Structure 1
């Protein structure tokens, strides 16, 4: 029973810290670390997600072209891409 109460109190503490905004800097740092492991920057990940998430037309062939274009365009701003410096600089402002 005491473990359950400790769990509930810790969860209430975390929820309170989240609502008050104390966890926002930690969330941003964790996001940067995880994107770095994936070889992405905020800019490249955002471009890939926005260009590949919604299909502009119903044709499957054009949808594949759109997906490939979004992936390649986002990879240009990722780690090792041609515009990596620009992607990391713009990603810090996001």
Structure 2
């Protein structure tokens, strides 16, 4: 799985949020209780034009909770590990 973002989320530009499918949706949906379903939140993210920007924002800023860019905390941790492994492989090549 590989994601890239059209916006650099480290510079504080969050204008992409104005285009998000979740705009106006109850934020609690994206921060379910432990063990609760994440399906509804992920459904909101599906097809969102700024999903990758949202995901990159969460990764860059170390968001540890909630659904961001359609991925759960566990899925984002896995993605971070994959990115780190890829970076190490490139660095040693």
TM, length-normalised to structure 2: 0.24
Higher helix fraction (1 or 2): 1
| Structure ID, larger Rg | 1
